[in-house]
Amino acid sequence: MSDLPLAIGIDFGGTSVKTGVLYRGNLIEEAPRIDTQEFQEARPLIERIHRTVEELRSKHPRIEAIGVGMPGFVDFPTGMVHNLTNVKGWQKIYLKRELNELANLPVTVENDANCMAYAEWKRGAGRGMRHLVAITLGTGVGGGIVIDNHMVRGANFVAGELGQTSIDYQGPDGAYGNRGSLEDYVGNQQITDLAYAAYSAAGTPKEKSECEPARLSNLARHGDTIALGIWDSVAKMLSTSLMNCCWLLNPEAIIIGGGVAKAGPLLFDPLEKHLRAQLSPAFKENLRILPARFGNEAGMVGAAALALEEAGFNVDD
């Protein structure tokens, strides 16, 4: 519908806060980023975000809601942020209430990976689907799950943590004591370490910086067999967690985003192979493995769309 209103989407990252105006999944203006490290407490940072919001509203009067994606656990109904590891002073911050009081607009606060999943579901690769799993691969590994046309949040609103699921019950302890967590196998740094070790073992050592995922993709595209082998290994490890999601939830699609997904077919081709080799027909017949539509703007897009839906607007058009 042409009269769908605008919304502000805020992607609150560990180092900076991105704020944009969204219209049906399109970022029509982005404000200058806010550096989180300049703030020692939550309140001044919230006030700074509010100033940015008001600057955008002065230019776009039809803004009806504000959505915020947070890099941490959020109590969805109250919009309380439990704790941020990389930003000072963020423990038990009732962001939804505080920003709502300042801006006098409906505010929705959600985990950033759920925002990414929501963006892909409502505006991206998963449009129209009833069941999907979204995963974002970068420094960390996050995820979001849609079942029966609803975002899965769970009993305490913390569901969807694909990166913390285990692929090896005898693996090393993860961030929460969880042995063999996927994040510790296919995070940016782990891929780099894996490649570094493989080149060294082959007697053709490289600098660490040459082993980063983007560089590794270039090497693989030029036929470097070690680089190709690393992407196959990453795909194999990743396929384990994704296959587990399939056996448990039988989704229509798995949508993969984040920096590591930029490897494209180098990752997706072996991933298709490993995943399909480990599923029975009913689980893979209609299964699609799709690259995410959105990149860095996914958090803003998803937060904005979610905020509009929570404010009562239909975002399925």
Which residues from 161-180 bind a copy of itself, rule CB under 8 A? 161-162, 164-170, 174, 176-180
Backbone angles phi, psi at 89, to 5 degrees: 85, 10
Among the listed ranges 7-15, 54-62, 233-241, 301-309, the one in contact with a copy of itself (CB under 8 A) is 233-241
Q: Please select the residue that binds a copy of itself; options are 248, 264, 295, 316, rule is CB under 8 A.
A: 248
Residue type, 212: E
Among 100, 190, 218, 250, binds a copy of itself (CB under 8 A): 250
Segment 56 to 95, residues that bind a copy of itself, using CB under 8 A: 73, 82
d(CA 298, CA 115): 7
- What is the C-alpha separation between 22 and 28, in angstroms, rounded? 6
Judged by CB under 8 A, the chain residues 7 through 66 that form the site for a copy of itself are none
Say which DSSP state 32 is in: P
The rounded distance, in Å, linking the Cα atoms of 77 and 201 is 51
21 or 287: CB nearest a copy of itself? 287
Q: What is the x/- site pattern for a copy of itself, positions 272-291, by CB under 8 A?
A: -----xxxx-xx-xxx----
Q: What sign results for the dihedral spanned by CA atoms 166, 138, 238, 208?
A: negative
Nearest-10 crossing angle of helices 225-249, 265-276: 50
**The tokens of 205 are what?**
């050592």
The CA–CA distances, whole Å, from 309 to 108, 137, 151, 275 equal 10, 26, 12, 34
Q: Which is nearer to a copy of itself, 171 or 291 (CB)?
A: 171
Angle at 98 between CA 306 and CA 52, to 5 degrees: 70
Q: Between residues 154 and 264, which has the closer beta carbon with respect to a copy of itself?
A: 154
Residue positions counted in the chain: 317
The footprint of a copy of itself on residues 129-168 (CB under 8 A) is 130-131, 143, 145, 147-148, 150, 152-162, 164-168
The distance of closest approach from Cβ of residue 55 to a copy of itself in the complex, given in angstroms and rounded to an integer, is 35
Query: Which residues here bind a copy of itself, judged by CB under 8 A?
Result: 73, 82, 130-131, 143, 145, 147-148, 150, 152-162, 164-170, 174, 176-180, 236-237, 239-241, 243-245, 247-252, 277-280, 282-283, 285-287
